[in-house]
């Protein structure tokens, strides 16, 4: 027996569940995703964050094989997404619109899934929906939006995929259902063999469960990595409102916020900060994400005395 065993999970990045390089998707003249290079190791719960229209859905659809890249490579579970039962069996993709047959009941969907998938845990869906008091025999179109989302999520879990791609899955859920669902995902990942990508435009939705982050803005990847590493690599520097060129020379400044009294800098660290006028503090995920989103946001109105400065 080998006395030294690798800790499961995050100690070492395992094989990648998702690997893209220069992934680009254009619809006519519109570029929905541009030069996207990301990597998500197996066993992560990855938050895909970005403002509306940043390209989150485009990326998820490329990963699921529902659309084809204009340029670049994409590898999912070790292969290029393709029309092959074995590939499809390992992917669980839930579109934002929660596509279900409105006239069919949840039970019909469960049976359809049993006919269409090699692995299918029908009982888990029935148990879960019964526990949530969602009628199995009612047409899905007659359920509430939240109930429909629960049905769709239960179905996608019954497929027992290796990679779950969920587009805004919690948007339709109430806070309690949201917490329960995210807990369920965390359990699934902890049990092994599952990687999850969840998209949202709100960090707060996903912060609790995610350990990996892909941030998109304006069709480009702004950040990608383990959240712990990303937080460690960034710091907030707060100091008097003065010239910041010295810091900008040694650190990569992501965002500068100035008030008459003080200047706040979000920096990606290249080394220790030696300017004693500035006080360094850790950055929260929300501050980090907003900082990167701010890079492309228009400047705030001047009378608020805050300037989101483009670097």
Partner 1 sequence: MTWLVWRQHRVQVYLGAALLAAFAILIVITGIQVGNQYHAAQAACAAGHGCRQLGGLFLGSHAVGFLIISTLGAPALVGLFVGAPMVAAEAEAGTTQFAWMQSVTRKRWLTVKIGWMLLAAAIWGGVISALVTWWEGPNNAVQLDAFDPGRFDIMGVVPVAYSLFAVALGIAAGALLRRVLPAIAVTLAGFIAVRASIALWLRPHYLSPVTAFYKVTTGLTPPGSYWQIAQGVLGPSGQQLAQPNNINYVNGVPATYLPASCVQVSRGAFTPPPSCMQALSHFRAFITYQPADRYWTFQGIESGIFLVLAAALIAVTAVTLLRRDA
Give the nearest distance from C-beta 127 to partner 1 in angstroms: 21
Tokens of 90: 């390992």
Pick from 19, 75, 50: which is nearest to 219 by CA?
Answer: 50
Q: Which is nearer to partner 1, 71 or 204 (CB)?
A: 71
Size of the site for partner 1 (CB under 8 A): 31
Tell me which H or E stretch contains 21: strand 16-27
Backbone CA torsion sign across 199, 201, 206, 207: positive
**Which one of the spans 98-106, 129-137, 169-177, 221-229 is the region binding partner 1 (CB under 8 A)?**
98-106
Tell which one of 95, 171, 202, 231 touches partner 1 (CB under 8 A): 95
67 binds partner 1 (CB under 8 A): yes
29 binds partner 1 (CB under 8 A): no
CB within 8 Å of 54: residues ≥ 6 apart: 201, 216, 217, 218, 219
Three-state DSSP class for residue 189: helix
Distance CA 268, CA 253 (A): 6
3-state secondary structure 254-277: EEEEECCCEEEEEEECCCCCCCCC
**Which one of the spans 42-50, 83-91, 181-189, 288-296 is the region binding partner 1 (CB under 8 A)?**
83-91
5 binds partner 1 (CB under 8 A): no
177 binds partner 1 (CB under 8 A): no
211 binds partner 1 (CB under 8 A): no
Give the nearest distance from C-beta 85 to partner 1 in angstroms: 5
Tell which one of 68, 208, 242, 252 touches partner 1 (CB under 8 A): 68
Distances (CA, A) of 306 to 7, 27, 215, 234: 45, 37, 24, 21
Tell which one of 9, 35, 75, 112 touches partner 1 (CB under 8 A): 112
Give the nearest distance from C-beta 204 to partner 1 in angstroms: 27
CB within 8 Å of 39: residues ≥ 6 apart: 16, 18, 19, 20, 224
228 binds partner 1 (CB under 8 A): no
Residues within the interface to partner 1 (CB under 8 A): 61, 64, 66-68, 83-86, 88-89, 91-93, 95, 97, 99-102, 104, 108-109, 111-113, 115-118, 159
């Amino acid at each position: 027996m080998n006395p030294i065993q690798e800790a499961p999970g995050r100690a070492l990045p395992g094989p990648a569940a998702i690997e893209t390089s220069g992934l680009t998707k254009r619809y006519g003249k519109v570029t929905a995703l541009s030069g996207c290079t990301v990597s998500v190791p197996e066993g992560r719960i990855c938050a895909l964050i970005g403002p509306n229209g940043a390209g989150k859905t485009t990326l998820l659809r490329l990963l699921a094989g529902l659309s084809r890249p204009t340029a670049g490579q994409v590898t999912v579970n070790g292969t290029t997404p393709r029309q092959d039962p074995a590939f499809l069996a390992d992917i669980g993709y839930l579109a934002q619109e929660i596509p279900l047959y409105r006239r069919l009941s949840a039970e019909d969907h469960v049976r359809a899934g049993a006919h269409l998938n090699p692995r299918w845990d029908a009982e888990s869906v029935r148990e879960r929906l019964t526990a949530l008091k969602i009628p199995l025999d009612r047409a899905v179109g007659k359920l509430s939006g939240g109930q429909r989302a629960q049905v769709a999520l239960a179905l996608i879990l019954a497929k027992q995929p290796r990679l779950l791609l969920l587009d805004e899955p919690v948007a339709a859920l109430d806070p309690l259902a949201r917490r329960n669902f995210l807990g369920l995902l965390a359990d699934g990942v902890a049990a092994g063999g599952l990687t999850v990508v969840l998209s949202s435009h709100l960090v707060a939705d996903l912060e609790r469960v995610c350990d990996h982050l892909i941030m998109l803005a304006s069709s480009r990847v702004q950040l990608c990595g383990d959240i712990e590493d990303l937080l460690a690599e960034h710091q907030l520097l707060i100091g008097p409102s003065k010239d910041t060129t010295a810091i900008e020379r040694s650190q990569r400044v992501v965002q500068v916020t100035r008030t008459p009294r003080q200047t706040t800098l979000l920096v990606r660290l290249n080394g220790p900060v030696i300017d004693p006028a500035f006080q360094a503090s850790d950055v929260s995920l929300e501050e980090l994400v907003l900082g990167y989103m701010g890079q492309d946001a228009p400047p705030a109105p001047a009378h608020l005395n805050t300037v989101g400065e483009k670097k």
